[in-house]
Amino acid sequence: MTKKPGQSKASADKLVKSIRRKTRQTYSSEEKIRIVLAGLRGEESILALCCREGIAESLYYSWSKEFLEAGKRRLSGDTARQATSPEVKDLRSESLALKECVADLTLENRLLKKSMTGSGEYEE
């Protein structure tokens, strides 16, 4: 039983890709910021920085773009923050209580209107 040369090469390529995925280094946000700031300082070329850090230039430029866009949004006044879980629960419960209050007042208002219009009509 002989294997075709294309099959063993394809399986070897799949094996190499899976190993690369599993051993891929992940960078924390602090590390990304440190690398981007080092590039923005301009003390060394981007190519040298990327070689030293072991990243592709395209990855550096995408991090740089994200970093600058986030700073631009922050400086332009987009300061909306994410609500914390307890805040969301408190706001939802308050909203529910207010909706119930509005429903009660609306019902009471309708009953009063009906009683006012019903008293002035002729009864047979």
Question: In this structure, are 32 and 69 located in the same domain?
Answer: yes
Question: In this structure, are 63 and 94 located in the same domain?
Answer: no
Question: In this structure, are 57 and 93 located in the same domain?
Answer: no
Question: In this structure, are 73 and 94 located in the same domain?
Answer: no
Residue 6 pLDDT > 70: no
pLDDT in tens, 57-92: 999 999 999 999 988 888 887 655 666 778 888 889
5, part of any domain: no
Q: What is the mean pLDDT of residues 48-54?
A: 93
Q: Is the pTM of this model over 0.85?
A: no
The Cα–Cα gap between 63 and 68 comes to 9
CA distances from 41 to 35, 45, 58 (A): 10, 10, 18
49, part of any domain: yes
6, part of any domain: no
CA distance from start to end of the chain: 105
pLDDT in tens, 10-30: 888 888 888 877 777 888 999
Instruction: Report pLDDT for 98.
Output: 94
Question: In this structure, are 64 and 39 located in the same domain?
Answer: yes
Domain interval for residue 89: 85-115
Instruction: Report pLDDT for 78.
Output: 60
Question: In this structure, are 39 and 73 located in the same domain?
Answer: yes
Question: In this structure, are 35 and 55 located in the same domain?
Answer: yes
91: CB partners within 8 A, 6+ apart: 83
Residue 25 backbone dihedrals phi, psi, to 5 degrees: -80, 135
